[in-house]
Structure 1
Amino acid sequence: MHTLWTSAAPALSYRLYAEEWQLSPIQTTGVFAIYPLFVVGTLILLGDLSDHVGRRWTMLAALMFSLIGALTLAWAVNVEWLLVARAVMGVGVGLASGASTAAILEFSSTGDPERAASATNLAQALGFATALLLGGALIQYAPYPLRLDFFALAVVIAALILPVWFLPRHVSSRTPWAPRLPHVPATVRKAFHVASIGAATAFATGAVLLSLGGQVAHDLVGSANELTNGAILASFAIVSAIATIVARKLRPRAALLLGSVTTTIAVLLLWLATKFHLLSALLISTSLAGISYAFLFLGALTLLNAVAPADSRGGVLSAFYLVGYLCMGFCALALGVVARIWGLPTAVAAAAIVLASLGCATFLFAVARFSAMVE
């Protein structure tokens, strides 16, 4: 929950920062993109840390970094502060992602990979929705619109530190730790290839909504109320949580195939919403994107939870998130460049083409490789 709340917390603030400090689209998407880039860097250097020092210690370190980042955002006075804050938060989320996902499976009473994947997706959806709904309400109706949202996040992160302190002390690997790329054992690489393309599609969809969603709703669709805009973007997470219940009944291959098709439909509606200024189409688009994210993420994660060895599970899951956040950072930067040169409507059209292409690639990859992987 903390990782997605931290990711989405500034989503509705980017437009306000741009107005307050006269930032260009490249600067605002750059502030967004530095976050996944630092997540990626942390996953590269420290992705399997929790396999060696334990899930608990890794999550405690993650929460401390996120707390520092949230407080820095709350006191930010210029774009440089934003960059530092998002970089520090990226380190926190990079440390937490693989460790917390592995802990949900390992600390559960059943050890069921499908149930653990569902719990992970539900927690992330709750964090995402809370960030956007609470953020929209505080920005629209409370004082200090660029500060109070992040103080609220800081309070939540601080409150999480105590219960995490009392989690089980758990270490899987007996080998000494050294910085290295997250390792994927040869026995699970075919499954990892299938899962990673699904992660790339899911996270790219999130990148578009988080980096440009607030500006799209306000500037292109014409919705001036930040709580309304936050609710529309939060529908991504709310519908994703509901879809998780359905997705639990599906096999990973079916979930990946359905998720890829839904992604393509969602981005087509996003383009139509901006072209014809249809708030209803934007709501349906974000809701369908939530369904596609749930199916893609849950299918991919269930597959990895089932095959990853216990002594390297943290590293495998960190590699999974590494692919997703790399795609997220690249998409955000590329969209910022397109918006700067050709305008926001062109950036949305380009995003629709890219996401539709990723959806088609996921569909074809799952069809072509899943059978070979099972065999």
Structure 2
Amino acid sequence: MPRGTLARPAAFWSVAVLLILMLAASGVPSPLYRVYAEEFGFGSGTLTVVFGVYAFALLLSLLVVGGLSDHVGRRPVLAVALLVEAASMVLFWAADGVGWLLVARVVQGFATGALTAAFGAALLDTQRADRPLGPLVNSAGPGLGLSLGAVGAGLAVQFVPSPTDWVFGVLTVLCLAAAAWVVFLPETSPRRPGLAASLVPSVHVPPSQRRAFLLVLPCLIATWSLGGLYASLSPSLAATVFGVTDHVTGALPILALNGTGVIGSLTMRSLAPARGMTVGALVFATGVAGTITALWTGSLALFFVAAVVSGFGFGGAFLGAMATVTAGVDPGQRAALISAVFTVSYLAFSLPAIAAGVAANSVGLETTAEVYGAVVIVLALTAVAGLTLHRRRSAAGSAPAPDGQLQPVHDR
């Protein structure tokens, strides 16, 4: 190990902290959308476009450079992407209209996509063999990071003069410091051939993981679709349906969903992946049903309770899905596989939310959210049914696991 390089345990937790920092930065704009809408004079349709361009830029990044660190190393990708993230913070800082806001969000999306794949792979590289916490951090990290970013920004808007100057100034410094810290991480991915081919936009799931990937797909779509709705429209929903005008309170549904997602991941980490995903998906569906009921009845208290329940289920279900699909993956294909998982996740995070923003202009935000919730429940139950059917077929000996790679799908 080169002198000055962190030992693997320290490297693992350094990567985990940097991942959460990056995700917190991506969550910061959510509570600010209402502020920008009032300042620049745009409605929910434009708001979801601003939200959507970030997700599309992130997806493009995952498709083009998601597997890059498998070929050139983790450190170069992380360092450059963190510098691009810092540049996006400066663009937010300088934004004086919708155009600048869109540019800032695109740059941030591209940086976040590259960081998500490289950080996710680095966690798997540096985790202890006898204590594999990489899937846990990969699944809990988005919830924790988005929660910290959203609540921190909400507090800044409520209590700090010139909140955007403070928020984006501090984040710029932190991103630059993070880029410098990458120098101390061990390089865990040696250079490999195939660099040019890896830059062709594609989603690659290794053959050994494809059956597991299909099994977890409805769960990924259901959970991240709800996350997208909360990130883009929950402050507006709280204001429109429940009359909440306070910025901190308006950001709390995002914390309730994403923050309890972390608790759900931690609580269910000892369960077998399939059982954790099944239990999580059922709890998640129950929480979403509570959200629909809260919208029908106008109960703000039930709305927050339902967000907590949904988030708890989200965390357990996503952890189970991540542990299932990454079990036994070849080290040289880790970044590409994680890129594929998050490509699907962010598609689910963005496209339905954009459609909801457009639909809200025609049928109203409350009706849109109720229909959206019903579809999400159906997807979550589909994931449960798929796992149940798979287990029954496996028990009957009609669905053998090739090379043992689907073993995590079984309850043990």
Shorter-chain TM-score bucket reads over 0.9
Aligned partners of 2:84 and 2:107 also within 8 Å = yes
Structure 2 residue matching 1:308: 3-state secondary structure: coil
Structure 2 residue matching 1:307: 3-state secondary structure: coil
Task: Tell me which amino acid in the other structure corresponds to 1:346.
Answer: T
Is contact 1:12-1:230 (8 Å) kept? yes
Give the match for residue 131 of structure 1.
Answer: 149
Amino acid at match of 2:81: A
Q: Percent identity?
A: 27
Q: Bigger radius of gyration, 1 or 2? A: 2
Shift of 1:143: 1.1
More off after superposition, 149-158 vs 46-55: 149-158
The corresponding residue for 2:305 is 284
Pair 1:29 & 2:73 matched: no
> Per the alignment, in what secondary structure is the counterpart of residue 7 of structure 1?
helix
| Further displaced range: 322-331 or 155-164 | 155-164
Amino acid at match of 2:184: F
Opposite residue 385 of structure 2, the aligned amino acid is L
State the shift of 1:173 in Å. Answer: 5.8
Structure-1 residue corresponding to 2:76: 57
What are the residue-to-residue correspondences of 1:1-375 with 2, within 5 Å?
A: 1-110=20-129, 112-113=131-132, 115-172=133-190, 174-178=192-196, 179-180=199-200, 181-369=202-390, 371=394, 372=399, 374=406
Any unmatched runs of 5+ in structure 2? Answer: 1-19, 408-412
Tell me the TM-score normalized by structure 1: 0.94
Deviation at residue 93 of structure 1 after TM alignment: 1.0
- Give the direction of change, closer, same or farther, for the CA distance of 1:70–1:275 in structure 2 (3 Å limit): farther
Query: Could you tell me how far apart the structure 2 residues matched to 1:36 and 1:369 are?
Result: 32
CA distance in 1, matches of 2:368, 2:30: 17
Give the secondary-structure state (helix, strand or coil) at the position aligned to 2:186: coil
Deviation at 1:153, TM superposition (A): 2.5
Q: Greater shift after overlay, 38-47 or 217-226?
A: 217-226
**C-alpha separation between the residues in 2 aligned to 1:323 and 1:201?**
11
Aligned 8 A contact 2:283 2:309 in 1: yes
- C-alpha deviation, 1:195, in angstroms: 2.9
Distance, in Å, in 1 between the alignment partners of 2:386 and 2:90 is 42
Which amino acid in 2 is paired with 1:143? P
Q: Distance in 2 between matches of 1:195 and 1:56?
A: 30
C-alpha distance 233-77 of structure 1, shift in aligned 2 (>3 A):
same
Shift of 1:102: 1.2
* 2:187 counterpart letter in structure 1: R
Provide the C-alpha distance between the structure 1 equivalents of 2:389 and 2:212, rounded to a whole number of angstroms: 12
Q: 1 CA distance for matches of 2:250 and 2:167?
A: 15
Amino acid at match of 1:311: G
Contact 1:3 1:124 in 2 (8 A): no
The Cα offsets for residues 10-52 of structure 1, whole Å up to 9 and x where unpaired, read as 1111122222222121110010011111111111111210100
Structure 1 residues 84 and 291 mapped into 2: Cα distance closer, same or farther (>3 Å)?
A: same
AA of the residue aligned to 1:350: V
Unaligned runs of 5+ in 1: none
Q: Which is bigger in relative contact order (C-alpha 8 A, separation at least 6)?
A: 1
The normalised TM-score by structure 2 is: 0.86
Query: What is the CA–CA distance in structure 2 between the aligned matches of 1:298 and 1:13, rounded to whole Å?
Result: 29
Secondary structure in structure 2 of the residue aligned to 1:15: helix
1:35–1:87 Cα contact (<8 Å) kept: yes
CA-to-partner distance for each residue in 1:340-370, whole Å, 9 max, x for gaps? 1222112211221221122122222222345
* Cα distance in 2 for residues equivalent to 1:358 and 1:29: 23
2:65 aligned partner, one-letter code: L
Contact 1:43/1:95 (CA < 8 Å) preserved in 2?
yes
Report the residue type matching 1:273 in the other structure. Answer: A
Match of 2:10 in 1: none
Aligned amino acid, residue 312 of structure 1: Q
What is the CA–CA distance in structure 2 between the aligned matches of 1:275 and 1:81, rounded to whole Å? 38
**Aligned residue identity for 2:101:** L
Q: CA deviation at 1:172?
A: 4.6
1:84 to partner: Cα distance:
0.8
Structure 1's 131 and 139: CA in aligned 2 closer, same or farther, altered over 3 A?
same
Q: Deviations over 1:149-174 (max 9, x none)?
A: 33333232222122222111232562
Change in CA separation of 1:250 and 1:192 when aligned onto 2, cut-off 3 Å: same
Residue 84 of structure 1 aligns with an amino acid whose one-letter code is V
Measure the CA separation in 2 of the matches of 1:161 and 1:185.
Answer: 30
Asked whether the equivalents of residues 226 and 373 of structure 2 are also in contact (C-alpha less than 8 Å), the reply is no
How far did residue 147 of structure 1 move?
Answer: 4.0
